[in-house]
Chain A
Amino acid sequence: MMRRFTLIAVPYVWLLVLFMVPFLIVFKISLSDAALAIPPYAPTMRDGLATLLSELDFENFVFLTQDDLYWKAYLSSLRIAVLSTFLTLLVGYPIAYGMARAPDEWRATLMMLVILPFWTSFLIRVYAWMGILSNEGLLNQFLIWLGLISDPLVILNTTIAVYIGIVYTYLPFMILPIYAALDRMDTSLNEAAEDLGCSRMQAFWLVTIPLSKNGIIAGSFLVFIPALGEFVIPSLLGGSGTLMIGKVLWEEFFNNRDWPVASAVAVVLLLILVIPIVLFQRNQQKQQEAEQ
């Protein structure tokens, strides 16, 4: 009995102290005033509950709605996350499809080739694009050599570079669930559709796509959710014109040292994320139930 208690209590207390409590602190600080002292927030943890409640105010949240930097950053993060998820799907689907139709003896190797980048440092994979996309970079050198352009294109430090970065780094998250769905699929269904008079294209749209729906949904959420709060990609590949909320939070915290506003930004970001996360969980559950 004692042993069972310890087994439950140790990870439970760890997560309570290092996950739940920090979270409540963010919530509380988002409702407090900025003060000049370090740490720059008030009231402190030592205050009683009564003073704490009386000093709660929503001014940081009101501030977020008044300064249009914030809601522009939220909207632009949403737009970048949605569009880059869609682009990742466009790039990832054909790869997953090709893998699922490849001869059996290739599958394990192809699978490893998709997973390998996932183990490689995220930072390095983003960095790799800096040398390619810059004005004197390889892409521009190549395009000029081909004679397609005469002056280098400005890609690095623009939002386009951010899209490329997100598609590149999150591609494995899109490929793997779609591949899993396509791999389970019975190809004789496509043959049946073709026998019944569908063209190959029609069979693809009417049979393959609907049957891989769950993979598409899972992959899209796996790209969308982390892309929304992304910090590394916009700060290395994006320019001053690329507004993303993860970067705004970082700057609010490290450069402006306005902790209450940074906390309020975090709370709102979390509220936005709750919807896709709940939808994703539901999709996963439905899939599990369908398998049983």
Chain B
Amino acid sequence: MGEQRLDEQTGQTTTGHSYDGIEELNTPLPRWWLWTFYLTIIWGVGYTIAYPAWPLISGATSGLLGYATRGEVAEDIAAHEASNAALVEQLVAADLTEVASGTDLHRYGIARGGAVFRAQCSQCHGSGAAGAIGYPNLLDNDWLWGGTVEEIAYTVQHGIRNETDFDAHYSQMPAFGEFWVRTEIEQVADYVLSLSTGTPIEDGADLYLDNCAACHGDNGEGMRDVGAPNLSDAIWLYGGDRDTVIESISNARFGVMPAWGQRLSEEDVRAVSLYVHALGGGE
């Protein structure tokens, strides 16, 4: 800090700051700016007292106002649910077949159901609902246990072949490998594959009619009461090549789906049913 002195050239005083002989002229800052600066400091200190700020060993000071971003999220969620309470009530009370496309209730059901689907169903049925080998594609128009919105809701609620819900869909195909010799199995497989061409072959027809038609139908059209797949269409749950059909006949299949009624709320079951029904295959 040097001496403050009058600079003759400019008529201004210097601040007394001198760096290697270079001096600084005093051009005073407005006093209010200084006050503003002090105010911001006071504000800053007050802010850290009012709001969560100072780090501690585990966590941080919580602030006098009790504000927390997590609490704000909880409030937002609560407010969101409160605003949808009326729709949820309607959804639980509604006859699902009567929920018309384009209504607010339908839109809400689809949106909510989509969220449920992505969280709970997509692990097996895929995020786009296209299914996988052994897990049905929900986009097409082929349904094992029925594709009306109520049938879908029943399947979601009770599931398939599980041991936890007494009302679950249940059926079991015999493993014909235990009864038949290899050539018989191959004959039936060839016959089954020929069903979807529209002109069934003759070999294997008797075996099919005696053993399979009871569930799968005389023409392979399937039977929804027992979840027996349609064998005459273009859709194969486990694959439509000869080896896979032989494997299915030999060992049978036993696809299981949990009873979601035990895990989801009723509105979620109904919402996800509306969602699946509106994916393109709904009946």
Partners in one complex: no
What is the interface of chain A, defined by CB distance below 8 A to chain B?
none
